[in-house]
Amino acid sequence: MDTHRRRGSQTNWECERCGSSVSARFVRVFGKDRSVYGCVDCLSSKQLFNGEASHPDD
Ligand SMILES: [Zn+2]
């Protein structure tokens, strides 16, 4: 039932680090381009606000 979830202007986004669902708004705020490399599940809010979700380093 969710086979089309990643097409085109997708509305379902995933954290590249842990695979959790994140909102498009979250990606815009904390990610880079169309990817986000961290979310509230795998980063602390301090890490998020430090911009750690905007790049894929580890
Ligand atoms: Zn995550």
Ligand 1 center from residue 2 Cα (angstroms): 20
Ligand 1 center from residue 3 Cα (angstroms): 22
Looking at the domain assignment, is residue 32 inside a domain? yes
User: pLDDT tens digits for 26-51?
Assistant: 999 999 989 999 999 999 999 999 99
Looking at the domain assignment, is residue 7 inside a domain? no
d(CA 1, CA 5): 9
pLDDT at site 2: 55
Looking at the domain assignment, is residue 6 inside a domain? no
pTM greater than 0.85: no
Looking at the domain assignment, is residue 36 inside a domain? yes
- Domain total of the chain: 1
- Are the C-beta atoms of 36 and 53 separated by less than 8 Å? yes
Categorise residue 43: left if φ over 0, alpha if ψ from -120 to 50, beta otherwise. Answer: beta
d(CA 54, CA 33): 9
Ligand 1 center from residue 5 Cα (angstroms): 18
- 32 three-state secondary structure: strand
pLDDT at site 12: 81
User: pLDDT tens digits for 4-26?
Assistant: 555 555 568 999 999 999 999 99
Domain that holds residue 47: 13-54
Looking at the domain assignment, is residue 5 inside a domain? no
pLDDT at site 10: 56
